[in-house]
Amino acid sequence: MATPHRRGAAVLGLALALSFGASGAGEPQPPDAFADAMSDYREGRQGAALNKMLLFVSSSPSDPRTEEALRVIWKIAHAARDAEKSIALEPQRWRETVKTAKAVIQQRRDRAEKMLQDLDMLSSSLSQSTATLASLRVTSLAPAEFDFSGLDELSRLRAESRLKEIRDSLKRIVNDPSARPDSLHEAQGYFWLYQGDLELAVKEWNQAMRLNPANELLRPRLDALESRWKSQKRKEEADHEALLGIGDFKVGRHAKAVSRLNKALDLDPDNAQARRYLALAQGASDAASTQARVQALMIQGRERYEGGELLEAVQSWVDILAIDPQNAEARRFLERTRKRLTVKAQAPEPASARPAKREYSREKAEEFYSLGLIQYSDGDLKGAVAAFSQAVLWQPDMKKAQQGLDQAQTELRNRVRP
């Protein structure tokens, strides 16, 4: 009769073989296979725990709890080593699993040993590094971008004997492969921090906290490091956007440059390059917008002039001169329009067409008003007064003509006043 131990070993072997078959068949795992497996393991159902752990590892290799799952698999495999001979089902599968578990543990042990060597070297050179750090800080020998934070953190750790605790934890992993691996990740995080790679340091420390949430010493350091890393990441993104914006500015894409440089300053308000080029890009963009407006009015004025819409053409030239008072082309067209309006306004009417009494005419009033605007723009105040007066005679209720007349008369009086 088989002993309880042999029956338990057989159950383990059967579960292992079935787990390999199930994983090969591609069965979906439970929603939280890891938690379910850990529950079985704690309650002594090692066969079920092994089956679920293997399913979990094969289907979720990137899950942060995979290392813990492998540790449990190794424990179960190690405890069942004496039962290997009694396994009749899939013995080759069983041996492969034990071999894989041992290889994983050996890799962890090798990694811990290598990190211990690195840690010892780092610790032995820390005093010299601290002295060098103090010298660099009081001189101008260190590059402006040199980051002292890694050395600072290691100096604090040394003062708090934290490096000794990490070393002891790594030694436990070397001597007991089933020990919790959180110290492995914590130590690796310090190495990344020392090398200035904040992103990888944050990643390792987060993994350490997942494996050991009770690590009260690491939590505040992780929070501070994450804050520094996010700030660094924002600055890097700002530098990238600023670089793209400067490139857009140099090839004439001023509106796009303004957008990118504003984004860079949103990420990092202290980015001096982004602020400098933003002012240049905005100036160029405003100038381009003004030039485009002048060109549009010029086209509009020409079309009106050539179509005989002289009054409307005058308004286009006046609008251009309000934007660009030195625009020679607008002044030339304004002079041409003035001459045409003068000839038209002064042309004598046939005697047969003359009324016995002056009649009101909006068309005539508009012509004289436009002539008055042209003469006013040219500085001919007397001519402007005469033209605006004619406009008022042809249409007494034309307020803009009356206002133009008042303005021209006032300036004329001020000009001749001694």
Look at residue 86 and tell me whether its pLDDT is greater than 60. no
Give the residue with greater pLDDT, 240 vs 379. 240
The separation between CA 22 and the C-alpha centre of its own chain, rounded to angstroms, equals 45
Residue type, 277: Y
The separation between CA 341 and the C-alpha centre of its own chain, rounded to angstroms, equals 60
The separation between CA 389 and the C-alpha centre of its own chain, rounded to angstroms, equals 64
Give the residue with greater pLDDT, 219 vs 8. 219
**308-350+357-416 is classed CATH 1.25.40.10:** yes
> Considering the chain, what is the average pLDDT of its residues?
72
The separation between CA 192 and the C-alpha centre of its own chain, rounded to angstroms, equals 24
Give the residue with greater pLDDT, 60 vs 38. 38
How much of the chain exceeds pLDDT 90, in percent? 0
Give the pLDDT of residue 403.
87
Domain-wise residue ranges, the chain: 4-89, 108-137+144-215, 308-350+357-416
Give the pLDDT of residue 329.
84
Among the residue ranges 30-34, 308-312, 317-321, the one predicted with the least confidence is: 30-34
pLDDT in tens, 136-176: 555 555 555 555 555 566 566 555 455 666 666 666 666 66
Give the pLDDT of residue 136.
55
Look at residue 73 and tell me whether its pLDDT is greater than 60. yes
CB 406 within 8 A of CB 388: no
Look at residue 250 and tell me whether its pLDDT is greater than 70. yes
CB 166 within 8 A of CB 183: yes
Residue type, 245: G
CB 66 within 8 A of CB 57: yes
What gap in Å lies between CA 153 and CA 194, rounded to an integer?
8
